[in-house]
Amino acid sequence: MTKIRVHEYAKQKNVSSKDVINKLKEMNIEVSNHMTTLDDSTIDKLNHSIKPKTENKQAAEATQPKTQQSNTTSSTVEKYEEEANEKSNTVNKEKLKKKPPVKPVAGKTSPQGGQRNNFNKGKGNNFNNRNKNNKGRTQTQTQAPVQKRKERELPAKITFIESLTVQELAKKLHREPSEIIKKLFMLGVMATINQTLDKDAIELIAGEYGVEVEEEILVDLTDLESLVTDDAPENTIERPSVVTIMGHVDHGKTTLLDSIRNTKVTEGEAGGITQHIGAYQVEVSGKKITFLDTPGHAAFTTMRARGAQVTDITILVVAADDGVMPQTVEAINHAKAAEVPIIVAVNKMDKESANPDRVMQELTEHGLVSEAWGGDTIFVPISAKQGEGIDTLLEMVLLVGEVEEYKANPERRAVGTVIESRLDKGRGTVATLLVQNGTLKIGDPIVVGNSFGRVRAMVNDLGRRVKEAGPSTPVEITGLNEVPDAGDRFIVFEDEKTARQVGETRAQRQLVSSRNEKSVVTLDNLFEQMKQGEIKELNIVLKADVQGSAEAVAASLQKIEVEGAKVKIIHSGVGAISESDIILASASNAIVIGFNVRPDVNAKRAAEAENVDVRLHRIIYKAIEEIEAAMKGMLDPEFEEKVIGQAEVRTTFKVSKIGTIAGSYVTDGKITRNSSVRLIRQGIVIFEGELDTLKRFKDDVKEVAQNYECGITIKNFNDLKEGDVIEAYIMEEIERK
């Protein structure tokens, strides 16, 4: 085994250790420094990518792993490797000169000039290494007059996404796959028609034909964050600062917000009736400041938890008569974590017991040192109640804003964050958006969190209709298909179709991912969850045997209202309860009601796995009663139906006096003599009643277990058919939780 260190290798090759280390990094081989020892395989790889600066054949050979040195011509690949090792750069260049001119490959990411050198990079798989090894050989081989047959013209350019198979590449190049395979073989790669070629390989092969290659990079439109591009500095202008007021309970956050709003908003806006939309803007010395109107750090934290950083500056309100309290400290920590500058408003200065020095002292312990004491935190004494010090406070906000230079580009399509949202009876979904960059306009196609729509109407914080909202402006919009959450990001798309697609895909993903998070609703725990305010709507997935009954059950269910909580049918359909019904129910925390239908096998399994409550009924009023009782917390199924088994009807015999005997096979569980049965045909309940006789051969038996055959007759029912499923169930007493 040849063991040498990086620097020794570098010396042999007459290159710098740094070059060797960089090369290794390109090949994803971790080395800590120039003293790292290299093993044979690494040396081997290096030998193929690092050529000595001067001809130093001996040195190169010295670092060849022994296996290769002693090799003769046992395999094509090794032979090529030898050749490659023996040829110096000069020889290759000469060969290159002899080569017919090759059109440059203007790949998006790597022009052909660089591709050969890069060909070995990173992946370290045999495929790539081999190619690199055979560089010299390739170029000789490809000079051979390849095409004698009439062939379709080569395309000028091909595109690909991520990778192509040999077959796909051949098709794109209008060549036979065998030809591509041959070319790959020349490069030392034994490829099959279905082999996947990476970008480098595609470029190399296409390069052989002089065909340009372009890699198409797919942008995931549903990843809203990834769509937000940076603005060139020359396109940005100053924007208003966005301020959040935080502090301990009763220290005066709301009073301060009101005070700022009352003194500033109405100035120059005669008659403007301020409207609470979750944020407002004031104008100070000709400049605007945006305040988030939700005091406390809950909102701040919620938004941050969702990755939305909306606040630029925090005003920390500390009552001068109370000093630093637990929530003051929490607020400081939140602001610090978000790296948001803090301005301290020492409030209630009008009070006799006010002790601003104490506040300053206490805050010092939390890293907020006032300028007066040599620190860099701005402290402003105020009385929110009497409106004193407010102007100074706002001046300070402007000052911090100027220093921090908050900027945005009003010319781009808007992006921002949801501040508040709700469902309005008359207007539908209403959301307050804070435009953080760009300008939001009426009619803009928009994706907001997992909802989408077009901006139908916009109202500002003064209740006025506006057509546009620039950076740092809060506006209330309507026109979304669903209510988004506070902290959700929004982004305007160029066209409505894309917005819809992105919105729908995001909503779908959300459904799937939320599946496991929520606590599951069952009728048994429904009342508890309603009491705790966790449920205002009982989601139901409804399946019925015919459309008419689905509609009838839905209509009756929707009439149920118990203390403000209502039923919401999120899906209704005809046919057996399927796995996808269960998944939907699970995702939306719904209960499944089957009316004259049963779950199929997969649905049953899914319902168990997902803990979805499936209720099966045959009589409308019983279904209604059950749901209503559950919502009232009066559910009393002391007995619950328990399915004990299923049998499949394989054949039928008609016997006079007895009726139809179903020759059946127990597919699941067991069938007992005393069980009730239901006859299911293609997922639909045909009949429900009692089992009459249960026989094995000629004998009456008490039960028949899974995988056994039996003869079954059902009381008062003879319409048994091959393929029917007989479901046996018993009523079992259940313990109430």
Cβ closest to ligand GTP, residue 298 vs residue 655? 298
Q: How far is the CB of 270 from ligand GTP (least distance, A)?
A: 27
Q: Is 597 annotated as a binding residue?
A: no
Q: Is 723 annotated as a binding residue?
A: no
Contact between 544 and 553 under an 8 Å Cβ cutoff? The reply is yes
Q: 17 or 259, CB closer to ligand GTP? A: 259
Give me the least distance between CB of 475 and ligand GTP, in Å please: 25
What does the alpha-carbon distance between residue 216 and residue 596 come to, in Å, rounded to a whole number? 52
- Closest by CA to 413, choosing from 461, 445, 450, 453, is 445
Please compute, for residue 634, the number of CA atoms within 13 A of its CA located in the half-sphere on the CB side: 6
Query: Residue 329 or residue 629: which is nearer to ligand GTP going by CB?
Result: 329
Would the annotation count 252 as a binding residue? yes
Which residue, 351 or 515, has its beta carbon nearer to ligand GTP? 351
Q: 248 among the known binding-site residues?
A: yes
**293 is an annotated ligand-binding site residue:** yes
Q: How many helices (H) and strands (E) does the chain have?
A: 25, 35
Closest to ligand GTP by CB, 256 vs 440, is: 256
Residue (322 or 668) nearer to ligand GTP, CB: 322
Q: Is the dihedral of CA 220, 224, 229, 230 positive or negative?
A: negative
Phi and psi at residue 43, in whole multiples of 5°? -60, -40
Q: How far is the CB of 262 from ligand GTP (least distance, A)?
A: 13
Given a contact cutoff of 8 angstroms between Cβ atoms, the answer to whether 143 and 98 are in contact is yes
Nearer to ligand GTP, 311 or 450 (CB): 311
- Residue closer to ligand GTP (CB basis): 252 or 449: 252
The least distance separating ligand GTP from the CB of residue 394, rounded to whole angstroms, comes to 16
H/E stretch holding 83 reads: helix 76-86
Distance CA 489, CA 224 (A): 7
CB of 232 to ligand GTP, least distance (A): 42
Residue 374 labeled ligand binder: no
> Which CB atom, from 348 or from 604, has the smaller least distance to ligand GTP?
348
DSSP state of 139: H
Least separation in angstroms between residue 470's CB and ligand GTP is 30
Specify the 3-state DSSP secondary structure of 448.
strand
User: Degrees (nearest 5) of the Cα angle 332, 333, 336?
Assistant: 85
Nearer to ligand GTP, 297 or 543 (CB): 297
Q: Is 699 annotated as a binding residue?
A: no
Shortest reach from residue 278's CB to ligand GTP, in Å: 15
Minimal distance in Å, beta carbon 242 to ligand GTP?
A: 19
346 or 643: CB nearest ligand GTP? 346
User: Three-class SS of residue 346?
Assistant: strand
Is 253 annotated as a binding-site member? yes
Residue type, 252: G
In this structure, are residues 172 and 160 in contact, taking their beta carbons and an 8 Å threshold?
A: yes
DSSP H or E stretch at residue 332: helix 326-337
Q: Please give the Cα distance from 36 to 224 (Å, whole number).
A: 43
Q: Which two tokens stand for residue 610?
A: 């997902």
Q: Is 389 annotated as a binding residue?
A: no
Residues forming contacts to ligand GTP in the complex (CB under 6 A) are: 247, 249-255, 295-296, 347-348, 350-351, 383-385
350 is in an annotated binding site: yes
Buried b (16+ CB within 10 A) or exposed e, 143-169: eeeeeeeeeeebeeebebeeebbbbbb
Give the contacts of 486 (CB within 8 A, at least 6 positions apart): 299, 302, 303, 418, 419, 420, 421
Q: Is 524 annotated in some ligand binding site?
A: no
Burial category of 592 from C-beta neighbours within 10 Å (exposed 0-12, middle 13-18, buried 19 and up): buried
174 is in an annotated binding site: no
Nearer to ligand GTP, 259 or 578 (CB): 259
Place of tokens 């029912």: 717
- Alpha-carbon span 501 to 484, nearest angstrom: 16
Query: Min. distance of Cβ 259 from ligand GTP in angstroms?
Result: 8
Backbone angles phi, psi at 21, to 5 degrees: -60, -45
Q: How many CB atoms lie within 10 A of CB 523?
A: 18
Q: Tokens 């860099």, residue?
A: 376
DSSP lists the bridge partners of residue 158 as 213
CB of 247 to ligand GTP, least distance (A): 6
Measured between alpha carbons, how far is 264 from 273 in angstroms, rounded to an integer?
A: 13
**Residue 249 counted as an annotated binding residue:** yes
Output the six-digit token pair for 521: 């609703």
Return the C-alpha torsion angle 452, 455, 457, 458, nearest 10.
Answer: 100
Tell me if 34 is assigned to a ligand binding site.
Answer: no
User: Binding site annotation covers 251?
Assistant: yes
- Shortest approach of ligand GTP to residue 348 CB, angstroms? 4
If the CB atoms of residues 348 and 489 are measured against ligand GTP, the closer one turns out to be 348
Kindly state the smallest distance separating residue 303's Cβ from ligand GTP, in Å.
Answer: 18
Provide the minimum distance between the beta carbon of 256 and ligand GTP in the complex, in angstroms, as a whole number: 7
DSSP assignments along 645-660, one per residue: EEEEEEEEEEETTTEE
Q: 499 and 521 in contact (C-beta within 8 Å)?
A: no
Biggest CA–CA distance in the chain, Å, is 108
- Binding site listing for GTP: 247-254, 293-297, 347-350
Summarize the annotated binding site as residue ranges.
247-254, 293-297, 347-350
